[in-house]
Amino acid sequence: MPHLFRSLQELAPVTPGPLKYLKVYEYEKGAFPDVQLHFQWIPCYHCEKPACVDACPSGVLQKESKYGAVLVGDSDACTGCRMCYDACPYGVPVFASDDLDAKVQKCDMCIDRLEAEISRYAYCPAHPERWTLDL
């Protein structure tokens, strides 16, 4: 595992920051002494019919056709209304602050890396099905 971690960081370094595009929740089941700790990760699912896209009155969020990624288009047009956040069943769209002029941000499926054809390397825990590591 240390080798895997080092390789991922070398291939696609991720800078820590306040915005979290992927949420991970933990919860317990059972009663002492038979207690289990579970983890549930919530990514953007890049929905086939994305509610966030339909909800945006400014046309900022768009679903592209090549990979099916739901992307932030013209972020300057974002008014910060949060209607996309309200519409998303998973609370995926995020904002850098509570200021009403903060622009929407979200997972972009690492589409630039897909286009650069380095997707065979693992880099995103939200899409483990793409993990075809060649270590």
Pick the stretch among 6-14, 84-92, 115-123, 126-134 that binds ligand SF4 (CB under 6 A): 84-92
The Cα–Cα gap between 113 and 23 comes to 21
Interface segment toward ligand SF4; rule CB under 6 A; list 10-18, 24-32, 86-94, 108-116 = 86-94
> Nearest 10 degrees: CA dihedral of 54, 56, 61, 64?
20
Is 110 a binder of ligand SF4 (CB under 6 A)? no
Binding pattern for the stretch 25-64 against ligand SF4, x by CB under 6 A and - elsewhere: -------------------xxxx--xxx--xx-x-xx---
Of 112, 105, 76, the C-alpha closest to 88 is 105
Long-range Cβ contact pairs of 64-67 (< 8 A, separation 24 or more): 64/111, 67/109, 67/111, 67/114
* Chain residues in the site for ligand SF4 (CB under 6 A): 44-47, 50-52, 55-56, 58, 60-61, 70, 78-84, 88, 90, 92-93, 104, 106
